Amino acid sequence: METATYLASLGFKTTLIEKSGQLGGKIRNWYKLFPNFSHSIEVFNHLQRGIDLSDVVVKLNTEVVAVEKMNPGFVLQLNNSEKLNADSIVICTGYDLFDARLKEEYGYGIYDNVITSAELEKMFASDKGIITKSGQPPKKIGFVHCVGSRDEKVGNTYCSKVCCVTGVKQAIEVKEMIPGCEVFNFYMDLRMFGMHFEAMYKKAQEEHGVNFVRGRLSECAETIDGAINLKVEDTLLGRPMKLSVDMLVLMVGMVPSEGTKKIGSLLGLEFGKNGFFKSRDQHSMANISNIPGVFMAGACINPITISHVFGHAHSAALMVASYLNNLPIENRVTEVV
């Protein structure tokens, strides 16, 4: 949305193709955003205003099913039998959340009160609030970090970048909504890399009493009353730890989206070893693919925060503008998809 708005403001005819029935992607599913706890709807409203005030053509419930490479440019075949001509393409296919069922030892999809961080966000926004399967507010909640990230067993050795700080944010929100609830965060390493992230971490401990335990969850089992018994090794104290929680939240990481895989195969784009798109250069050409005229932005390249996505969007728009402005006059349609 941000890339399309910027390209339209630069004078390029821009078409935004969205496979679902509404714009906004996953940001519509989040409640509040770190580090300032602003509501996600504020970011979405900013993006929507940009689209509303620009000349971007939006096509909802639409997918690209085939691509013909011209010289220069592209012809895109859409699922509604329509064809689009474009001088340039920007890929913004985002990410999918790791399927927590692949980590069977955590009991997701098996135990009623094991949920994902995305499902907890929906609870924050709901009228019912944070409740267990029995409909009661939990007295103890455990958060497990790095579910599907930094994990050789599932083939994802990279850090998803947002899980640690999301775990801290959600722990604070739980304490604010249920002040008497005990909260435990089980982590490998806390990667508080962003501005104000370290302050959030300290606030969670000092003001809200959130417990941070460095250690991997090795085993969990459901009790007859729906609680979850946990076995964890506290690697800082060097001893095993056992406790029971009413709810276990799995901080699921980012994986390449199905849309990334599909459009990448259609266009012949290069993939990195982790399945995300491979940039020409990670430092100076992060938005540039191996196909002339095809650019990329956001989490289709690597796990990324929302604030950094905006930088990606602006950079991609400028890269596209530079590319189109250098096309021979007789070959220009100046249309971007």
SS3 157: coil
Model confidence at 332: pLDDT above 80: no
- The residue assigned the tokens 């290069």 is 270
Mean pLDDT throughout 126-140? Answer: 95
Question: C-alpha angle 199/204/210, rounded to 5°?
Answer: 150
pLDDT of residue 240: 87
Output Rg (C-alpha) for the chain, integer angstroms: 22
* pLDDT-above-70 percentage for the chain: 98
Cβ pair 111, 249 in contact under 8 A: no
pLDDT of residue 331: 54
**Cα distances (Å, whole numbers) of residue 252 to 46, 218, 222:** 27, 17, 20
Model confidence at 337: pLDDT above 90: no
**Cα distances (Å, whole numbers) of residue 300 to 25, 98, 142, 282:** 13, 14, 30, 13
pLDDT of residue 238: 79
Question: C-alpha angle 219/220/226, rounded to 5°?
Answer: 170
* Amino acid at the residue 215: G
Buried b (16+ CB within 10 A) or exposed e, 136-155: ebbebbbbbbbbbbbbeebe
pLDDT in tens, 51-67: 999 999 999 999 999 99
pLDDT of residue 218: 86
Largest CA-CA distance found in the chain, in angstroms, rounded: 74
Model confidence at 41: pLDDT above 80: yes
pLDDT in tens, 99-108: 999 999 999 9
Model confidence at 330: pLDDT above 60: no
Nearest to 26 by CA among 215, 180, 252: 252
Model confidence at 324: pLDDT above 70: yes
CA 182, CA 187: separation in Å to the nearest integer?
A: 16
Reported confidence tier of residue 327, pLDDT bands at 50, 70, 90: confident
Strands (E), the chain: 13-17, 32-33, 38-39, 57-59, 64-69, 74-78, 83-86, 89-91, 95-97, 114-116, 140-147, 182-187, 211-214, 217-222, 228-234, 239-245, 247-252, 254-256, 294-296, 335-336
All domains of the chain, ordered by start, with CATH?
2-94+257-336 (3.50.50.60), 100-253 (3.50.50.60)
pLDDT of residue 40: 96
pLDDT of residue 234: 85
Mean pLDDT throughout 4-19? Answer: 96
Report the range of poorest mean pLDDT among 4-8, 70-74, 119-123: 70-74
Chain centre to alpha carbon of residue 168: 16
* pLDDT-above-90 percentage for the chain: 88
pLDDT of residue 333: 55
Model confidence at 287: pLDDT above 80: yes
Mean pLDDT of all residues belonging to the chain: 94
**Cα distances (Å, whole numbers) of residue 224 to 99, 110, 132, 162, 166:** 26, 14, 14, 34, 31
Reported confidence tier of residue 125, pLDDT bands at 50, 70, 90: very high
Cβ pair 120, 114 in contact under 8 A: no
